[in-house]
Amino acid sequence: MMLATLLTLSVALWYLAAHLLRGESDVDWHLASRPCDLHQAACRASLGDGRSLSLGIDAPGAIRALELLPLTVQVEGVEVLSASVEFVGRGMDMGLHRFPLSEQDSGRFEGVGQVPICTESVMPWQARVVVETPQGRLGSRFDFTVERSVP
């Protein structure tokens, strides 16, 4: 009984570690269309073969640290099983900030994210959108900056 429990626990831990630490090596990355300003409007990326994805952050005024940010990912031309957005500090390790999105209707996913606080007055960030399809993982990266609010 103890051996079976240890074996089950080992498999569960391996699966969790593989899922959480899975790198980006299996993501087929695509460049964002230029110009792109997530503070103003959704940003788009062509995935080739008539496929595309866009990311919108519905922040009134500007994207600010510690504020809840409504996220919308729209995918066209490909079946999507799941979608997530990850905020990554550019040039500074800010930890893992991944936000899974819920499917609203065919190709549209929504959720809420949050950019963490930073000590820099202007912090460069990257929003990484990854969608899981039956053919594999597709993604795009969108750069933006967050200015620290002065009270």
- pLDDT tens-digit profile of 21-30? 445 689 999 9
CATH number of the domain at 25-147, out of 3.40.50.300, 2.30.30.90, 2.60.40.1930, 3.40.50.410? 2.60.40.1930
pTM over 0.75: yes
Omega cis (within 30) before 134: no
- pLDDT tens-digit profile of 33-60? 988 999 999 999 999 999 999 999 998 8
Of 4-8, 36-40, 126-130, which range is least confident?
4-8
Residue with tokens 């099983």: 81
| Residue 39 CA: distances (Å) to CA of 57, 71, 130, 141 | 7, 12, 20, 15
Domain spans, the chain: 25-147
Burial class for 149, CB neighbours closer than 10 Å (0-12, 13-18, 19+)? exposed
